[in-house]
Chain A
């Protein structure tokens, strides 16, 4: 039988609380302070573990009654690619600098989310990428005194 969403959620919660609870054994205690750094996390983690077990148990009990949900079309591939493009952008920021990395990210993600089918749309993609990347940099650096990253490879 395939585990349901609630069982997965409960197992993840249980796993996280057991792992972090185990880490609290290594926390140092002071002889002068009766309440150590492990006191509060242990309470929270114990509560989390109990709630996770309750979620799993509730899910097992409710499984017989539940109607299967209607399938909904979801574009998970596009979500995964967006996360990937975002990860590459964050990696590229210190190397390429804000302006260049943002220009490529804005252009790339626009194309990924809605591939342009006309020349006008390509021009819009390019215009948004150029104006936003250089515009945001200029506004933050000149007017708001916030320095955005310059590229280690490009110096730009």
Chain B
């Protein structure tokens, strides 16, 4: 394993991989710093630029965006109290008060170093666990895969804040979208309405981009009173000078906090379709509960910043594990990466590690190298990135929409994909307005084909339906599915909520 990792590192330090990785990290930091532009949106914008690149070049750029994005959000979160992305919300709780007390450099650098350590520890898990989990998944038959995907869907549907029925319905809508086009057994066209284009089904990426980008952007447009530049104080340059040894010492003096926050980040990352925002909020909450001085949280305590930032970067490592070992995306960013891999003809899943070993270790290496690159970018530009928030959304939104169109068009050089993008833009926005969560929808969309193939394969191998519950792993996973639904119902009974609008990112 170490030999393969060393090969991967030697491979990725070649300029042809290092340049896309560094550019991706820089774009990620900038995208992460921009309030209202999520990492998903940033990776969607970068996506079309990767089509003409080699697979590892494209994936390195996306990993750079992912790692850079998770760290970039902390700058605005600490300095002006506006999180650049949802997973930085809990960084504002202590980062902003610390900066206001006259220690902006300490607040920012605590976040940056916590991201660095959390991310690298997440990398250790990524490298150690992916192959092991993929080996387990290789022993799965169609019954187990079917049960695993159903478990993933039911868990995500159960975790959504809206009603359970809506979470499950959103997942079912995702599955319905995948039934359009040829069936996987006899290639009979289904629901094509006479369209030749639909015989191949709805192309995954335009659907995904349409749903996400429009749901996010249109929600921004309808909520915003003004789309001109943001906070006036943001344009100023801030002095972030601080003793780096002291900041690193502050983090390393709290090894339990760092490890526990990292563990939470990894765990949330591994669970399908739950993103970094859940990880950082949960880690912050845990840090507060386990602290000897919980009353200091919210007033500018370093523990709050460390917990939030270490967990949201470790979450990236966890998300990459599930996509590489099972082909199940840990969040929306890895869902886009999954689509990008498909375009290059790469199938993620249990066979990925054995069939695409060079690429897999290249991904590990890119992930590890993205962290020192992020650190270097922050060292040079952290004080400048604050100026980015002055870019008005009235410029950003049209630019993002154009890049979405380019991404959809460049897939197969037809306008049909662009129309699919627009259609699902309307669908995505409509679903958000109706209160449907998007995470189960996207997961259903990704897993739909696999669920059908494994169900049919299982039944054609043996028509006995009892095999789903008599094979131990399959039975265990299906029991977990039922349990997650029951738990979700029980939890909702305890806390009755009023009508809410779901988060458009996950």
- Residues on A lying within 8 angstroms of B by beta carbon are 5-6, 8-9, 12-13, 16-17, 20, 23-24, 27-28, 30, 33-41, 44-45, 47-48, 51-52, 54-55, 58, 65-67, 69, 72-76, 78-79, 82-83, 86-87, 89-90, 93-94, 102, 105-106, 109-110, 113-114, 124, 128, 132-133, 136, 139-140, 143-149
Chain B hits for A52, CB < 8 A: 169
Pick from B190, B225, B395, B455: contact of A110, CB under 8 Å: B395
Instruction: State whether A79 touches B398 (Cβ < 8 A).
Output: no
Interface residues of B in 130-176 (CB under 8 A from A): 163, 165-166, 168-169, 172-173, 175-176
A-B contact list, 24 entries, CB within 8 Å:
A23-B191, A37-B188, A38-B190, A45-B176, A48-B173, A58-B163, A66-B498, A69-B498, A69-B499, A79-B429, A86-B425, A87-B422, A90-B422, A93-B418, A94-B415, A102-B402, A106-B398, A109-B398, A109-B401, A113-B397, A133-B402, A140-B410, A146-B48, A147-B413
Question: In the complex, A150→B186 CA distance in Å?
Answer: 38
The smallest C-beta distance from A94 to any residue of chain B, in angstroms, reads 6
- Interface flags, B389-416, vs A, CB<8A=1, else 0: 0001111011101110110011001010
Q: State whether the Cβ of B228 lies closer than 8 Å to any Cβ in chain A.
A: yes
Instruction: State whether A9 touches B434 (Cβ < 8 A).
Output: yes
Pick from B163, B179, B397, B406: contact of A41, CB under 8 Å: B179
The smallest C-beta distance from B149 to any residue of chain A, in angstroms, reads 13
Q: State whether the Cβ of B377 lies closer than 8 Å to any Cβ in chain A.
A: no
Q: State whether the Cβ of B227 lies closer than 8 Å to any Cβ in chain A.
A: yes
Question: In the complex, A16→B394 CA distance in Å?
Answer: 36
Instruction: State whether B179 touches A132 (Cβ < 8 A).
Output: no
Asked, given contacts A37-B183, A113-B394, whether A55 binds B191 with beta carbons under 8 Å apart, the answer is no
Chain B hits for A51, CB < 8 A: 165, 168-169, 172
The smallest C-beta distance from A34 to any residue of chain B, in angstroms, reads 7
Q: State whether the Cβ of B256 lies closer than 8 Å to any Cβ in chain A.
A: no
Q: State whether the Cβ of B101 lies closer than 8 Å to any Cβ in chain A.
A: no
Interface residues of A: mostly helix, strand, loop or mixed? helix
Chain A hits for B401, CB < 8 A: 86, 105, 109
Q: State whether the Cβ of B224 lies closer than 8 Å to any Cβ in chain A.
A: yes
Question: In the complex, A65→B176 CA distance in Å?
Answer: 33
Instruction: State whether A78 touches B221 (Cβ < 8 A).
Output: yes
Q: State whether the Cβ of B218 lies closer than 8 Å to any Cβ in chain A.
A: yes
Pick from A23, A36, A90, A139: contact of B415, CB under 8 Å: A90
Asked, given contacts A9-B166, A79-B221, A110-B395, whether A144 binds B53 with beta carbons under 8 Å apart, the answer is yes
Question: In the complex, A23→B192 CA distance in Å?
Answer: 10
Pick from B173, B222, B405: contact of A78, CB under 8 Å: B222
Pick from A41, A44, A74, A109: contact of B222, CB under 8 Å: A74
Instruction: State whether B218 touches A82 (Cβ < 8 A).
Output: yes
Instruction: State whether B52 touches A37 (Cβ < 8 A).
Output: no
The smallest C-beta distance from A127 to any residue of chain B, in angstroms, reads 10
Question: In the complex, A12→B435 CA distance in Å?
Answer: 13
Question: In the complex, A76→B168 CA distance in Å?
Answer: 28
Pick from A40, A44, A136: contact of B402, CB under 8 Å: A136
> Given A113-B397, A136-B403, A146-B48, 6 other A-B contacts at CB below 8 A?
A5-B435, A27-B190, A79-B221, A82-B397, A139-B49, A144-B49
Question: In the complex, A87→B169 CA distance in Å?
Answer: 28
The smallest C-beta distance from B201 to any residue of chain A, in angstroms, reads 12
Interface residues of B in 87-115 (CB under 8 A from A): none
The smallest C-beta distance from B172 to any residue of chain A, in angstroms, reads 4
Instruction: State whether B52 touches A44 (Cβ < 8 A).
Output: no
Pick from B183, B218, B392, B419: contact of A114, CB under 8 Å: B392
Question: In the complex, A40→B149 CA distance in Å?
Answer: 15
Q: State whether the Cβ of B253 lies closer than 8 Å to any Cβ in chain A.
A: no
Q: State whether the Cβ of B17 lies closer than 8 Å to any Cβ in chain A.
A: no
Question: In the complex, A105→B406 CA distance in Å?
Answer: 13
Question: In the complex, A6→B167 CA distance in Å?
Answer: 12
Chain A hits for B456, CB < 8 A: 35, 39-40
Chain A hits for B399, CB < 8 A: 106, 128, 132
Chain A residue nearest in CB terms to B448: A44
* 8 residue pairs, one from A and one from B, having the closest CB atoms: A144-B52, A114-B394, A37-B183, A113-B394, A109-B398, A37-B188, A9-B434, A55-B165
Q: State whether the Cβ of B51 lies closer than 8 Å to any Cβ in chain A.
A: yes
Q: State whether the Cβ of B460 lies closer than 8 Å to any Cβ in chain A.
A: yes
Instruction: State whether A86 touches B422 (Cβ < 8 A).
Output: yes
The smallest C-beta distance from A55 to any residue of chain B, in angstroms, reads 4
Asked, given contacts A8-B434, A75-B224, A113-B227, whether A55 binds B188 with beta carbons under 8 Å apart, the answer is no
Chain A hits for B398, CB < 8 A: 105-106, 109-110, 113
Chain A residue nearest in CB terms to B460: A35
Instruction: State whether A74 touches B188 (Cβ < 8 A).
Output: no
Q: State whether the Cβ of B226 lies closer than 8 Å to any Cβ in chain A.
A: yes
Instruction: State whether A9 touches B436 (Cβ < 8 A).
Output: yes
The smallest C-beta distance from B474 to any residue of chain A, in angstroms, reads 17
Chain A hits for B293, CB < 8 A: none
